[in-house]
Structure 1
Amino acid sequence: MDLQLQRFADSGDKTERATPKRREEARRKGNVSRSPELTSALVLAAILVALRFTGSMIWGSWQSLMERDLTMQVPSQWTTSTVTQLFLMQGATAVKALLPVVGIALLIGVAVSVAQVRPMFVSMLLAPKFSRIQPLAGLKRMFSTRTLVELGKSLLKLMLIGFVGYSVVVPSASEIRGFTQVDVTQLPFAVGSMVFSLGIRIAVCMVMLAFFDFLYQRFEYERGLRMTKQEVKDEMKQMEGNQQIKGVIRRRARQLAFRRMMQEVPKADVVVTNPTHFAIALKYDSQSMAAPQVIAKGADNLAQRIKERAAESGVPMVENRPLAQTLYRVAEVGDAVPQELYQAVAEVLAHVYRLKQAARG
């Protein structure tokens, strides 16, 4: 019983910051810190700014469209072709007028969303979850703390927008009553100016609220990722175990590579030495190779092992300090000799071949 109580206490005592591994796992599942309020507020502000610069063009497009519709000659007979042509013409005008605003809103929305979560694609979020349509789970979400917070934010936004609207409309009451005396052609501009002023103030308030919502979402995200001390210890043990396994694998891979390399030394035509620090075994077969190949190389102790293996197998060794140092630096085991070293390697091989011929003679 005491053990169960201790486990329960540990599970609720999440005081440790999330580890990089925990954060990466959460990101793979689509669990990231994101504020939709910030995206919508900045999109609203971007739309208003775009309307400020393109409003006259949009109004001119709609005015031209209305004039064309009112002055156009009515067809003597309406057909599918004439109706389609009329709708296409009006649709093209509307798209052309609204495209800059819509494009800017889409660009800002995507940019803000990507800036918050960085580019990511979570395929598991596309899979249907039947838990979302369970009545009991839905009721729990309705009365959860997060739902109450979202309700509070919505009420705060509503009150703030109402206050801003009141602060703009009431002082302008006399100006609104004067609209009855304004020329009809100037009325859209007067109303539009007032609405735009109201929209700008609302957008500024929305951006301010969205900034605080962004901080709150970040705080909630960090709190949700917190870990208990036991979880951190378990993860560290797991990572240490994985590192040990990887270390064993790397060590065995190096051992196998060393064995294969030492097995190739007897097949070499020559071993170029430093003479004490480097040893490079070269092999050349004119029938199967375009250039001599490095089949083994080593420094210090490994170089001594290569030279011992070469001596046991009767492979000639030639001391050439510059060539040995250069080959060790620029060529890996299995690589062909670089073209700029062809002449030096050819001289070494020719010397070895002359020694072999002299020994046979």
Structure 2
Amino acid sequence: MTHLRLDLQYFAGEKTEKATPQKRLESRKKGEVAKSQEVPSAFILFGSALALYLLGGWYLERILALFQFVYQDLLLTTITIQNLPELVNQLLIEMVILATPLFVIAIIFGIGGTFVQIGFLFAPEAVFAKLSRINPISGAKRIFSLRALVELVKSILKVVVIATAAGIILWTNRDTLMGLSHLPIRQSTAAIGQMTFQLFVTVAIILVVLAVADYMYQKYEFEKQIRMSKQDLKDEFKKTEGDPLIKSKVKEKQRQMSLNRMIQDLPRADVLITNPTHFAVALAYDDKTMEAPTVIAMGMDFQALKLREKAKEFRVTIVENKPLARALYDQTDIGDPVPEELFGAVAEILAYVYRINGRLKGGN
């Protein structure tokens, strides 16, 4: 029996259940989401290729101007201490102008590559330092884990595939490369730009394929990481819905308080209509202050039984009428007047009660 209990506890602690929406939301708030670093890389390369395609003519003119500045203006200019800072600044400005479009596009497409995976996410908790990240034991486990091995294989595969693709492109254009030295500067620069564009597009396509595969793997790992045990599901239910034991105690307390209030008002009742044990409804009527008989107490099962006991103690007349008791219980709440369609039945009972009590309600 002890072994069986331990086995059940073991299986209850296994992460075998899919994560609930609440668990996913909590993980997202911590910055824990399924994402691949290869997707932004593929986006950045595609953006760079697009920039080269759209701005190829502009880049050609800027690069030719830079060559002219370096190989003509600088060589023909006498460099002195006075003009050296100006020449260096001019050279840096030209290089910044060339790099700025690619830099801006890389940022935009890099953000876009992350956004398509996880959407907008603001997770301050992910920024805070965690001591577990600098724990040498945990670090060693991460280094020698299956995930680290997969990352290593993925990196090697990426380098091999991209290097192979670059080699094929260069080999295909070997005649052009060998003849660059015999071409004018404009034509050689254009040829290099065309090969660069071809390389960017090829590598970007390869990275997209790798990114899709890596994202699927990262999503699988993430789903496995956030799995929940049966005990986790129970704990989450208690956290969101409240502990069933506490809820039952609260409801019991509320029922007791409600019953106490009804018992306090019961002496004012003229009659208690019962079913006879399942339902009990107490009515009071004062023609000076009420337009119709009013429900001042009602209960079902245990509460109905308590109302019957207290009605006997307070000498309140008890009348058994199953359909009327059920109808009053279903159609009214405490403080409500009797529904118009039940006036006749209630009036007959009140008349009977007044007659046996030897008085007329509201009379002298």
Pair in the same fold by TM > 0.5: yes
Task: Choose from 6, 9, 15 the match for 2:8.
Answer: 6
Residues 127/233 of structure 1: CA separation in 2 closer, same or farther (3 Å cut): closer
Of 105-114 and 229-238, deviating more is 229-238
**Contact preservation (8 Å) 2:29, 2:125:** no
Residues 61/180 of structure 1: CA separation in 2 closer, same or farther (3 Å cut): closer
1:294-342 C-alpha deviation (Å, 9 max, x unpaired): xxxxxx979979xxxxxxxxxxxxxxxxxxxxxxxxxxxxxxxxxxxxx
Residues 212/7 of structure 1: CA separation in 2 closer, same or farther (3 Å cut): same
Corresponding residue of 1:164: 165
Distance in 1, matches of 2:45 and 2:79, equals: 45
The alpha carbon displacement at 1:150 in A equals: 0.5
Distance in 2, matches of 1:95 and 1:303, equals: 81
Give SS of 2:172's match. coil
Corresponding residue of 2:198: 197
**Residue 78 (1) aligns with residue 115 (2):** no
- Normalising to structure 1: TM-score of the pair? 0.61
The alpha carbon displacement at 1:208 in A equals: 1.2
Give SS of 1:170's match. helix
Residues 153/189 of structure 1: CA separation in 2 closer, same or farther (3 Å cut): same
Task: List aligned pairs for 1:95-244, cutoff 5 A.
Answer: 95-241=96-242
Amino acid at match of 2:166: G
1:193-247 C-alpha deviation (Å, 9 max, x unpaired): 22321221111011111011111111111121111233223322332217986xx
The alpha carbon displacement at 1:75 in A equals: 6.5
The alpha carbon displacement at 1:20 in A equals: 1.0
Corresponding residue of 1:16: 17
Q: CA RMSD in A?
A: 3.5
Corresponding residue of 2:295: none
Distance in 1, matches of 2:115 and 2:191, equals: 38
Residues 301/196 of structure 1: CA separation in 2 closer, same or farther (3 Å cut): same
Distance in 1, matches of 2:163 and 2:99, equals: 28
Corresponding residue of 1:323: none
Distance in 2, matches of 1:87 and 1:220, equals: 51
Give SS of 2:55's match. helix
Residues 50/185 of structure 1: CA separation in 2 closer, same or farther (3 Å cut): closer
Corresponding residue of 2:32: 31
Percent same amino acid at aligned positions?
30
Amino acid at match of 1:229: K
Distance in 2, matches of 1:176 and 1:66, equals: 19
**Contact preservation (8 Å) 1:32, 1:117:** yes
The alpha carbon displacement at 1:35 in A equals: 0.9
The alpha carbon displacement at 1:43 in A equals: 0.8
Amino acid at match of 1:157: K
Residues 156/222 of structure 1: CA separation in 2 closer, same or farther (3 Å cut): same
Aligned length: 257
Distance in 2, matches of 1:107 and 1:71, equals: 36
Give SS of 2:34's match. coil
The alpha carbon displacement at 1:18 in A equals: 0.6
Of 142-151 and 54-63, deviating more is 54-63
Corresponding residue of 2:60: 59
**Contact preservation (8 Å) 2:142, 2:148:** yes
Distance in 1, matches of 2:131 and 2:150, equals: 25
Task: List aligned pairs for 1:211-360, cutoff 5 A.
Answer: 211-241=212-242
Distance in 2, matches of 1:37 and 1:20, equals: 27
Residues 119/55 of structure 1: CA separation in 2 closer, same or farther (3 Å cut): same
Amino acid at match of 1:101: L
Distance in 1, matches of 2:209 and 2:79, equals: 57
Amino acid at match of 2:81: W
Distance in 2, matches of 1:302 and 1:4, equals: 52
Distance in 1, matches of 2:181 and 2:88, equals: 35
Distance in 1, matches of 2:87 and 2:202, equals: 39
Distance in 1, matches of 2:80 and 2:189, equals: 35
Amino acid at match of 1:170: W
Amino acid at match of 2:8: Q
**Contact preservation (8 Å) 2:66, 2:94:** yes
